[in-house]
Amino acid sequence: MNTFDAIINRRAIKKFDPNHKMTTDEIKFLMELAILSPSSYNQQNWRFITISEQKIKEEISKAARNQAQPSDGSLVIILCGNTSAWMDNPKRYWKNYPKEKQEYVANALKRKYSDNSQNKRDEAMRSCGFAAQTIMLAAKQMGLDSCPMSGFEYDELAKIIHLPNDHLIVMMIVVGKALEPPGQRGGQLPIEEIVFENRFS
């Protein structure tokens, strides 16, 4: 499957085959692809919780206002942002580069994120957004389907996954085999309403 086909065929699936299981190797490969997503200063501030245990998936469905996808899907991935990533030994984000580069990045991260909770939150959202699309397109290439989800009770889900205080949940993605094809698309807005050349007006 080429990239265009993956983009066109990825859809938010509502009914997953509850009997389909992913292998440990498939889950590992999917996560190895996810961590190749871009992040500002390569800070890799995403943290992924992968859940394939049925009992926990069912708890997550309950927290997701009884939506069936977490329980029926093969794998639930909770995408979290680590808002302390900027100060968590940041030189290792450029470990393949000389010391000067590592120090430059560590200082830049400090300038941007210390004392600025909005920046920390925004960066968590941006990084996890990129990772989410990587996961969904990679799943498609692996012959799997997905559903991105934010319809859940935040505090309940945080409790299930033991969310640390300095992390936030950005969204979850369910991966599995579709049991039913998706309905037709809701309808894309006309491109003229969305794309502007050079400036808004």
**Interacting residues with ligand FMN (CB under 6 A):** 11-12, 14, 67, 147-151, 171, 182, 185-186
Q: CA-to-CA distance for 103 and 95, rounded, in angstroms?
A: 11
Mention every residue, 6+ apart, whose C-beta is less than 8 A from residue 156.
Answer: 62, 63
User: Please, which residue, 87 or 125, has the CB nearer to ligand FMN?
Assistant: 125
**Whose Cβ is closer to ligand FMN: residue 106's or residue 149's?**
149
Nearer to ligand FMN, 17 or 88 (CB): 17
Closer residue to ligand FMN (CB): 12 or 33? 12
- Which residue's CB atom is positioned nearest to ligand FMN? 151
CB of 159 to ligand FMN, least distance (A): 18
The number of residues making up the chain comes to 201
CB of 171 to ligand FMN, least distance (A): 5
The total of other beta-carbon atoms located within 10 Å of residue 193's CB is 8
Q: Check if the beta carbon of residue 170 is closer than 8 Å to that of residue 121.
A: no
E strands of 68-179, at which residues?
Answer: 75-82, 145-149, 167-176
The CB-of-39 to ligand FMN minimum distance in angstroms stands at 18
